[in-house]
Amino acid sequence: MSDLKQTPLNATHRELNAKMVDFGGWDMPVNYGSQIEEHHAVRTGCGLFDVSHMLPLDIRGDNVRAFLRRLVANNVDKLQVSGKALYSCMLNEAGGVIDDLILYFMDASWFRLVVNAGTAEKDLAWMEKMNAAWGMGLTLTPRRDLAMIAIQGPDATRVLNEALPGVDQITAALKPFNAAAMGEMFVARTGYTGEDGFEVMVPAKSAPFFWKALMEAGGRPIGLGARDTLRLEAGMNLYGQDMDETTSPLESGLAWTVDLKSERDFVGRKALEASEVTRQMVGLVLLDRGVLRSHQKVFTRHGEGEITSGTFSPTLQQSIALARVPLGIAPGEEVEVEVRDKKLRAKVVKYPFVRNGKVLIS
């Protein structure tokens, strides 16, 4: 317990009687009562998430764009307007995924990245190594002095505007997947729930006050439990579960984030181009009673696959999953999933399952 890392909101979560768990070495709230109620609150109102365990990382220097062109699989040249964000994988030479991250273009010599908590140290070491190997001369600054709060749901704009007088000038103009800096504060219209919303970075010492203001404006604290069911309904990958260093982004439902059109020589490109893609990610909806979980075997007419993430969907009121299965398996087909000693029937669907409060599968 004493060894766990704490976010600047740790005391706040404890005051709110959150159930705290060890989440990859961080002492984090898994729920504040009912995970399902928290899930619905985000789909219908506004939820607040402490995501300060994730690491904002500033990369500065004249070569920053050239560096990122080689470092990540998506093309940072898509970012030409200050504040614009890009989702990408960072690959190893074998084409496996070191991490998935978000990059914000701020100015010609400054990009801000946000990387996963569990991979932050590994990511930083890799980036420093490449920085040196390529002679880029960049400065990489981890921003543990910042706290990050996600404000998500159809009511997110109103809650943020009310909690933070003056921010409406930013939120009114901010398009999805864009960010703006306002002094020490950084406001991004991004998230991990499939709803409209923001991820806001503030100085660590301001975080508890900001959190309380958001609650007073009607935001409801949401734990990591609901964060997982929300992201899975929204069809968003979770690093370490749906992809890792041994899996290709092309077999993880992430081909849309890999830019092979440009001439860039990014790390992992050669391996990806030489690889044969034999598997794909699909969505599953369980037809029988039960709950799909990661690592369960999937039996298809083209051979075996595996569930990478599975849960009970509070919006659909049935179990859903992401599964890596052989190519050729198409939406509408039925497959079988091994759950304990039984084989249960599941339907293959195109995901996301839910976006903006609406069920997208039939």
- List contacts with another protein (CB under 8 A): 1, 19, 30-31, 34-36, 225, 229, 289-291, 293, 311-312, 314, 319, 340
Minimum gap (Å) between residue 36 Cβ and another protein: 5
Separation of alpha carbons 301 and 125, rounded Å = 43
| Per-residue tokens: 76 | 């940072």
Minimum gap (Å) between residue 33 Cβ and another protein: 10
Q: Is the distance from CB of 208 to CB of 221 less than 8 angstroms?
A: no
Sign of CA dihedral 229, 283, 156, 207: positive
Minimum gap (Å) between residue 309 Cβ and another protein: 13
Please identify which residue in the block is written with the tokens 């004493």. 2
Q: Classify 210 as helix, strand or coil.
A: helix
The nearer residue to another protein, 96 or 225, going by C-beta atoms, is: 225
Cis check: omega of the bond before 154, within 30 degrees of 0: no
Q: Is the distance from CB of 140 to CB of 214 less than 8 angstroms?
A: no
The nearer residue to another protein, 59 or 292, going by C-beta atoms, is: 292
Minimum gap (Å) between residue 287 Cβ and another protein: 14
The nearer residue to another protein, 200 or 285, going by C-beta atoms, is: 285
Minimum gap (Å) between residue 87 Cβ and another protein: 26
Please identify which residue in the block is written with the tokens 């619905």. 40
The nearer residue to another protein, 317 or 362, going by C-beta atoms, is: 317
Minimum gap (Å) between residue 220 Cβ and another protein: 16
Minimum gap (Å) between residue 338 Cβ and another protein: 13
The nearer residue to another protein, 291 or 360, going by C-beta atoms, is: 291
| Per-residue tokens: 21 | 């768990």
Please identify which residue in the block is written with the tokens 């849309």. 256
The nearer residue to another protein, 129 or 295, going by C-beta atoms, is: 295
Element (H, E) at 65: helix 64-71
| Per-residue tokens: 10 | 């740790």
Separation of alpha carbons 306 and 344, rounded Å = 14
Minimum gap (Å) between residue 306 Cβ and another protein: 17
Strands 47-50 and 220-221: parallel
DSSP state for residue 60 in the 8-state scheme: E
Cα dihedral: 50, 198, 294, 259 (round 10): -130
The nearer residue to another protein, 200 or 346, going by C-beta atoms, is: 346
Minimum gap (Å) between residue 1 Cβ and another protein: 8
Identify any residues that bridge with 217 across adjacent strands, giving them in sequence order. Answer: none
The nearer residue to another protein, 227 or 279, going by C-beta atoms, is: 227
Separation of alpha carbons 97 and 339, rounded Å = 28
Q: Which among 88, 72, 70 has a CA at the least distance from the CA of 134? A: 70
Contacts of residue 46, Cβ cutoff 8 Å, sequence gap at least 6 = 151, 152, 153, 154, 155, 156, 158, 159, 197, 218, 219, 220
The nearer residue to another protein, 18 or 138, going by C-beta atoms, is: 18
